[in-house]
Amino acid sequence: MDVLSAALGQLFVPYHLLIIVAGTTVGLFVGAMPGLSATMALAVLLPFTFAMQPLAGLIGLGSVYMGAIYGGAFSAILINAPGTPSSIATTFDGYPMAKAGRAREALIAATIASVFGGLFGVLALLLLAPPLAAFSLRFGPPEYFWVAVLGLTLIGSLSGGALLKGLLGGGLGVVISIVGVSPIGGESRFTYGFPALQGGVELIVALIGLFVIPELLVMAGTGVAALSRSSLDSTRRGIFWPTVKTVLSMPGNILRSVVIGQIVSIIPGAGGNIAGLLAYNEAKRASKHPEEFGKGSIEGLVASESSNNVTVAGSMVPLLTLGIPGAPPDALVLGAMLMHGLRPGAELFSVSGVLTYGFILSMGLSAIVMLPIGLLGGRLIYQAVVRIPPHFLVPTIATMAILGSYALRNSMTDVMIMLVLGIIGYVLKELGFHPAPIALGLILGPIAEMGFVQSMLMGSSLAYPPLKLVESPLSLILVALSVFAIVWPFFTGWRTRRRERTGSA
Amino acid sequence: MNNLLRPIAIVMLMLAGAAFAQYPQRAINYVIPFNAGGESDITARLQQPHLEEILGVSVTITNRPGGGGAVSWSEIQRSTQNDGYTVVGINLPHIATQPMERTDTGFTTNDFEFILWFQFTPNALLVRNDSQFQTLDDLIEYARENPGSVTIGGSGSNTANHIAVLQLEQLADVDLTYVPFSGTGPTIPALLGGHVSALMSYTPMSVLQSAQARTLAVASEERVSFLPDGPTFVEQGIDIVGGAYRGVAAPPGTPADIVQTLTEAFEEASRRIAEEQEAMGFVIESYSGDEAMELVERITEEYAAILETLE
């Protein structure tokens, strides 16, 4: 523990504390802008870290990363736009809460949940990094395939009662994800001869189109901002402590969500988006009021936000122990480390222990700093969104949507794709489709495809290659979980019907 | 008369002065056709401050990923001004293989003004520390007795990694199973988790994973300085030399003197970061002008021949 106290000593100097506060604040605003991602912010920061001391540089990157994943909640709650893919599930209840005049409550709850998530992730990284890393290595191509299948079973609960529409939406999402160069084989698919379409459809671009544009069209059509006058009620003072109490009154929900976030985040390639969606789904399954989910349930919001902030420190587990960058921002952290001659592995925790633990602890501090900064920043952004009348708000958000779509890959094609998907999204919304299953298909389609084809290749010397898919115990567990997830709604439905029958008899 | 001519003369002189003004005058856009955090991106961000110092203008890095680089490359060739203020990162064999395998890439291999090829990452064959394969021969021997059961992970299809596995199959006359992953990152858990028997990766991976993985063979002509214990394929009797090259190019038709200025700037920047680059497992190269073109032609022919035998 000497190394821990030494690391803390290094951390508590004004220069490092300043970096943490500044980094978290910058990250928060970057995350709150749809289209400006954590990866981008880290990339811009990277050259500066080369010139800095290793610890200062890593602290800067870690704080921005932490702030950005949390910042995504702001736009998710206030304008239904997932600022980062991690906050998709936050829109499901955050935005309805805001529409019902509970925006401040939602922002406070999201902040507290994020702080818990961030701290839990750091704690797990400090105490359990080696065993967690060993566990993460059990996931190979067959397991990835089954993780994607398990994720796709969420369509049932995300489609808001209309299962068939949900399945169709999920299918549409998978089809959209196929556009571009195939990950295996390298052929172009559905590009219709346009070179620009070889790049496929970027997740964030699709999310902005599917989530933000339909909402804007509705707002423009009715001339009423979703959260203007009505939400002014909740600017009243004294909302803070009751909200804190509400959040703290659901320890089971928070614990379940952070554990889900932890498990998902150590699997390389699965990030905050999948964690948030899974945690949301489990919260709904366990809730006493599942009918409120999607209509402004604070439980759903807390589940999503607490699980996605675990993933920041969580993805550092495979990175620091094994050198595996599990998510795009991690690759930049790895780059900064290599530049300073730090190589991931056991040595990082022994020889450069003070530095490594300093970096880990700084992420914990960043999570704590989120509380005051988030509450203050949330208030500012909220005031801005509410005060602006709809005829200014709609063009402002539209401009942000266009800028965000462009900025991601510096591509006008992406702006076009965003607008087309926005119009499709509007029509589908009018027809009663929810955008969540489409997003799910977009995220999981490529993971399922990759895992399936790789497994078949790996099994090509077996007599019957598909057996590769069910070879490992972990695969079988994931199969069982998927089957359970599919059967469970039918079972509960059957039980309610039976109860009703015996009740009426 | 004099009064009328004087201002005209002054304007003419100013115009002439502008035409002869030293390039560069304003910020240069350095397009990286891959995501932030990748090896191309990190190299560019290392070069960035040095380029700014050498050229005296700011250099902005723009990540423009998609289609394995094709989105950026087609844009550079089709719709970018060739005034020297936009340059793009280029990779071999990518610019050679993609036009062979797809008809809609939107770019051709040779339609660039090559500024400099500055970096080479040889292919490297890695196994986990506890693998039963101590040498390349062990692996080949096992593969001969168990056709198809040795799985080798690598980055992408028709890439340098993939081609090297095909060459190994041909030269050693064995049957291997190549499993492509989307980039080098996802190959690490596949190797360390034992999901594939070996990786055909690049030398930076050997350096990064030196604590947990053993490099059986490197596809360079001679041993690389940063891996003194990494034997080459050649010295083990398998004639494989290859890997991925990184460089930078300007849009077709960029004036030769501007390309020359850029070549010198990139050469100098590359020299300045050489030490850091080698420590990370990159081999520093310098091919410009005719040499750059020859390299592209040589690689194109080599890959065309191998891909042909596939079909």
Of A46, A268, A409, the CB nearest to B189: A268
B58 interfacial to chain A (CB closer than 8 Å): no
**Do the chains contact at B71 and A46, CB–CB below 8 Å?**
no
Number of separate domains in chain A: 1
If you average pLDDT over residues A8-22, what whole number do you get? Answer: 93
Q: For residue B93, is the peptide bond before it cis, meaning its omega torsion is within 30 degrees of 0?
A: yes
Statement: residue A439 has pLDDT above 60: yes
Confidence of residue A505 (pLDDT cuts 50, 70, 90): very low
Please report, rounded to a whole number, the percentage of residues in chain A having pLDDT higher than 70. Answer: 96
B33 interfacial to chain A (CB closer than 8 Å): no
Of B37, B46, B70, the CB nearest to A198: B70
pLDDT (tens digit per residue) in A281-335: 999 988 898 888 888 999 999 999 999 899 999 999 989 988 888 777 888 898 8
Return the pLDDT at A156.
Answer: 77
Extents of the domains making up chain B? 26-120+244-310, 121-236
Instruction: Check if B26-120+244-310 and B121-236 are the same fold.
Output: yes
A403 located within any domain? yes
Q: Which residue of chain B is at minimal alpha-carbon distance from A333?
A: B37
Of A40, A140, A344, the CB nearest to B36: A40
B208 interfacial to chain A (CB closer than 8 Å): yes
Find the range with the poorest average confidence among A139-148, A376-385, A487-496, B105-114.
A487-496
Chain B nearest CA to A20, separation (Å) = 22
A479 located within any domain? no
Statement: residue A496 has pLDDT above 80: no
- Rounded-to-integer distance, Cα B297 and Cα B110, Å: 8
Distances, alpha carbon B245 to alpha carbons A86, B89, B123, B160, in Å: 35, 11, 11, 10
Chain B 158-197, CB below 8 Å of chain A: which residues? 158, 177-182, 185-186, 188-190, 192-196
Q: Which tops the pLDDT comparison, A379 or B224?
A: B224
Kind plus residue range of the DSSP H or E element containing A180: strand A180-181
Within 8 A of A454 by CB-CB distance, chain B residues are 179-181
Return the pLDDT at A196.
Answer: 83
Return the pLDDT at A499.
Answer: 79
B89 interfacial to chain A (CB closer than 8 Å): no
Task: For A412-433, give one letter per residue: b (16+ CB within 10 A) or e.
Answer: ebbbebbbebbebbbebbeeeb
pLDDT by residue for chain B (311 residues), tens only, comes to 456 566 666 665 555 555 556 889 999 999 999 877 778 888 998 899 999 999 999 999 988 888 888 989 999 998 888 999 999 999 999 999 999 888 888 899 999 999 999 999 999 999 999 999 999 999 999 999 999 999 999 988 888 999 999 999 999 999 999 999 988 888 989 999 999 999 999 999 999 898 899 999 999 999 999 999 999 999 999 999 999 999 999 999 999 999 999 999 999 999 999 998 898 899 999 999 999 999 999 999 999 988 887 66
**Do the chains contact at B37 and A343, CB–CB below 8 Å?**
no
Q: Which residue of chain A is at minimal alpha-carbon distance from B143?
A: A461
Return the pLDDT at A99.
Answer: 85
pTM strictly above 0.80? yes
If you average pLDDT over residues A402-431, what whole number do you get? Answer: 90
A198 interfacial to chain B (CB closer than 8 Å): yes
Query: SS3 of A287, please?
Result: coil
Within 8 A of B179 by CB-CB distance, chain A residues are 141, 454, 457-458
SS (H, E, C) A341-359: CCCCCHHHHHCCHHHHHHH
Q: Which of A452, A449, A439 is nearest to A176 (CA)?
A: A439
Return the pLDDT at A237.
Answer: 64
Looking at the domain B26-120+244-310, which fold is it?
Answer: D-Maltodextrin-Binding Protein; domain 2 (3.40.190)
Interface residue of A338, A406, A452, A472 to substitute, partner B, most B CBs within 10 Å: A338
**Do the chains contact at B68 and A186, CB–CB below 8 Å?**
yes
Looking at the domain B121-236, which fold is it?
Answer: D-Maltodextrin-Binding Protein; domain 2 (3.40.190)
B303 interfacial to chain A (CB closer than 8 Å): no
Q: Which residue of chain A is at minimal alpha-carbon distance from B102?
A: A187
**Do the chains contact at A329 and B147, CB–CB below 8 Å?**
no
Chain A 15-44, CB below 8 Å of chain B: which residues? 39-40, 42-43
Half-sphere exposure of A338 (CA within 13 A, CB side): 29
Chain A 69-98, CB below 8 Å of chain B: which residues? none
If you average pLDDT over residues A256-271, what whole number do you get? Answer: 89
**Do the chains contact at A343 and B212, CB–CB below 8 Å?**
no
Statement: residue A241 has pLDDT above 70: yes
A334 interfacial to chain B (CB closer than 8 Å): yes
**Do the chains contact at A40 and B101, CB–CB below 8 Å?**
no
Listing DSSP states for chain B in one string gives -HHHHHHHHHHHHHHHHHHHSPSP-S-EEEEESS-TTSHHHHHHHHHHHHHHHHHSS-EEEEE---GGGHHHHHHHHHH---SSSEEEEEEETHHHHHHHH-S-----TT-SEEEEEEEEEEEEEEEETT-S--SHHHHHHHHHHSTT--EEEEESSSSHHHHHHHHHHHHHT---EEEEESSSTTHHHHHHTTSSSEEEEEHHHHHHTTTTEEEEEE-SSS--TT-TT--BTGGGT-----EEEEEEEE-TT--HHHHHHHHHHHHHHHHHTHHHHHHTTPEEEEE-HHHHHHHHHHHHHHHHHHHHHH-
A185 interfacial to chain B (CB closer than 8 Å): yes
Return the pLDDT at B41.
Answer: 87
pLDDT (tens digit per residue) in A36-92: 778 888 888 887 887 889 999 999 999 999 999 899 899 899 888 887 888 899 999
Within 8 A of B180 by CB-CB distance, chain A residues are 183-184, 454
Within 8 A of A186 by CB-CB distance, chain B residues are 68, 98, 101-102, 156-158
Q: Which residue of chain A is at minimal alpha-carbon distance from B75?
A: A196
A348 located within any domain? yes
Return the pLDDT at B1.
Answer: 47
Of A184, A188, A332, the CB nearest to B104: A188
**Do the chains contact at A198 and B146, CB–CB below 8 Å?**
no
- Rounded-to-integer distance, Cα A400 and Cα A55, Å: 34
Chain B nearest CA to A192, separation (Å) = 9
A493 located within any domain? no
A293 located within any domain? yes
Return the pLDDT at A327.
Answer: 79
Chain A nearest CA to B19, separation (Å) = 31
Return the pLDDT at B3.
Answer: 62
Residue type, A20: I
Chain B nearest CA to A333, separation (Å) = 8
If you average pLDDT over residues A453-462, what whole number do you get? Answer: 91
**Do the chains contact at A196 and B75, CB–CB below 8 Å?**
yes
Chain B nearest CA to A64, separation (Å) = 15
Return the pLDDT at A182.
Answer: 85
Statement: residue A118 has pLDDT above 70: yes
**Do the chains contact at B104 and A194, CB–CB below 8 Å?**
yes
Backbone angles phi, psi at A63, to 5 degrees: -70, -40
Of A39, A269, A345, the CB nearest to B186: A269
Print the domain residue range for A348.
2-471
A495 located within any domain? no
Return the pLDDT at B89.
Answer: 95
B231 interfacial to chain A (CB closer than 8 Å): no
Interface residue of B78, B79, B104 to substitute, partner A, most A CBs within 10 Å: B104
If you average pLDDT over residues A117-142, what whole number do you get? Answer: 92
**Do the chains contact at B177 and A461, CB–CB below 8 Å?**
yes
**Do the chains contact at B37 and A331, CB–CB below 8 Å?**
yes
CB pairs under 8 A between A and B: 185
